[in-house]
Amino acid sequence: MIDDEGNKLGEFLTEDAIQLAVERGVDLIEVAPNGRPPVCRLGDFGRIKYEKQKKDAQARKRQAVVSIKEVKLRPKTDEHDYEVKLKHTRRFIEEGDKVKITVRFRGRELAHRNIGEERCREVAKDCEDIALIETPPNMEGKQMFMILAPKKKS
């Protein structure tokens, strides 16, 4: 058992530990139930719960939320349109988001999947200074997907 200042009091029977907690007017809190013997602490349970809640809130505040943005291309996307999409892709990655590059095929374009893969690789090459390929290009139905993730800053 540990008292409210953090000093080790030694081993107690359960009934004696409960009696000591009642005498001191504090709660008996089980800290490590699987330990041999189980470890208990004397203290205010409400205060401990409150401190844990505050610590969890701080952890959530520091947590970075990464969303996936999507940029859609076609095998025949013109050069200027490609540059605009590339500029959007770079902006998303610089903001810390992942980018899903989608190449849509229609009709006979499905026979030329290599063109779509080349488009994906071209985007990856143009963003290689700030991003790396998380998921390589792969087909799903009539669409090819590739996911780019921002590089870790050193």
- Residue 45 pLDDT: 87
**Sheet order of strands, 68-73 included:** 68-73, 98-104, 143-150, 131-140
3-class secondary-structure state, position 3:
coil
Q: What is the mean pLDDT of residues 90-95?
A: 91
The number of helices, as runs of H, and strands, as runs of E, in the chain is 4, 6
Last residue of a domain, one of 40, 61, 82: 61
CB 138 within 8 A of CB 144: yes
User: Residue 125 above 60 pLDDT?
Assistant: yes
Identify the band that residue 88 occupies on the pLDDT scale cut at 50, 70 and 90: very high
In a domain, 55, yes or no: yes
In a domain, 33, yes or no: yes
Global model pTM greater than 0.75: no
Q: What is the mean pLDDT of residues 67-77?
A: 90
- Residue 55 pLDDT: 92
User: Any residues with CB less than 8 A from the CB of 3 and at least 6 apart, and which?
Assistant: 9, 41, 42
In a domain, 9, yes or no: no
Q: Which domain holds residue 53?
A: 14-61
Identify the band that residue 153 occupies on the pLDDT scale cut at 50, 70 and 90: low
Q: What is the pLDDT of residues 19-71, one digit of tens each?
A: 888 888 888 888 888 878 888 888 888 888 898 999 999 888 887 777 899 99
The DSSP secondary-structure symbol of 107 reads: G
User: Residue 85 above 90 pLDDT?
Assistant: yes
Q: What is the mean pLDDT of residues 114-125?
A: 89
- The per-residue pLDDT of the chain, averaged, comes to 87
Same domain flag for 87 and 113: yes
Same domain flag for 111 and 86: yes
Q: What is the mean pLDDT of residues 103-124?
A: 89
Reduce the secondary structure of 40-92 to three states and give it as a string.
Answer: EEEECHHHHHHHHHHHHHHHHHHCCCCCEEEEEECCCCCHHHHHHHHHHHHHH
Same domain flag for 120 and 97: yes
Identify the band that residue 102 occupies on the pLDDT scale cut at 50, 70 and 90: very high
Same domain flag for 73 and 57: no
- Residue 15 pLDDT: 85
